[in-house]
């Protein structure tokens, strides 16, 4: 006997948190119709089982506090997961207000790790490569320069 779309969605959220977009994608991949997916999502959202705000807040907390990610990178990742920009901004703001997030320390940790991997290159080359690496990670240029002033 085939599982209903609702039962399948419940089995997904029992394993981990999902966004509305993520559940919709999974249901469509499993060959449920968009109408079925939307009906299931309305039910899950109404009951509070799927909540993009809660997902965004937990994702932002994990990445900013424990993962050392930049605010810009977290904002981009949430957008890729289908989280509305306003919800993402509110979640990031809440995490930054609730938890001590030291971006300079995160930049320093990443810079030191990168410097170790560069070996005996010229100091100018090392600095340029670390700077590029950190910019690609999403950190602000002013913050990077402030930290690099002490490291290299």
Query: What is the full per-residue pLDDT of the chain (152 aa) written as tens digits?
Result: 468 999 999 999 999 999 999 999 999 999 999 999 999 999 999 999 999 999 999 999 999 988 888 999 999 999 999 999 999 999 999 999 998 888 888 899 999 999 999 888 888 999 999 999 999 989 999 999 999 998 77
Same domain flag for 110 and 139: yes
Q: What global pTM score does this model have?
A: 0.82
Closest CA to 38 of 50, 77, 81, 11: 50
If asked whether residues 58 and 93 sit together in one domain, one would say: yes
Q: Helix crossing, 85-98 with 52-61: angle to 10°?
A: 50
Range(s) of the domain holding residue 34: 5-46
**pLDDT of 67:** 83
pLDDT at residue 121, as a whole number: 87
DSSP state of 81: T
Quote the CA–CA distance of 73 and 70 in Å, as a whole number.
5
> Is residue 39 located within the same domain as residue 68?
no
Is residue 54 within 8 Å of 95, Cβ to Cβ?
Answer: no
Same domain, yes or no, for 59 and 41? Answer: no
Please tell me the total count of domains within the chain.
Answer: 3
In Å, the largest CA–CA distance within the chain is: 67
- Choose among 94, 56, 54, 62: nearest CA to 75: 56
């Amino acid at each position: 006997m085939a599982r209903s779309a609702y039962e399948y969605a419940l089995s997904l959220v029992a394993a981990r948190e999902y966004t509305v977009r993520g559940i919709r994608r999974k249901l469509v991949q499993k060959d449920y119709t968009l109408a079925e997916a939307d009906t299931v999502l309305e039910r899950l959202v109404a009951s509070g089982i799927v909540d993009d705000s809660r997902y965004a807040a937990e994702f932002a907390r994990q990445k900013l506090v424990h993962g050392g990610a930049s605010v810009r990178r977290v904002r981009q990742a949430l957008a890729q997961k289908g989280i509305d920009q306003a919800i993402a901004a509110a979640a990031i703001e809440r995490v930054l207000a609730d938890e001590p997030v030291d971006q300079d320390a995160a930049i320093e940790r990443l810079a030191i790790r990168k410097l170790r991997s560069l070996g005996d290159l010229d100091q100018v080359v090392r600095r340029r490569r670390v700077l590029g690496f950190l910019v690609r990670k999403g950190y602000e240029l002013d913050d990077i320069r402030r930290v690099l002033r002490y490291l290299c």
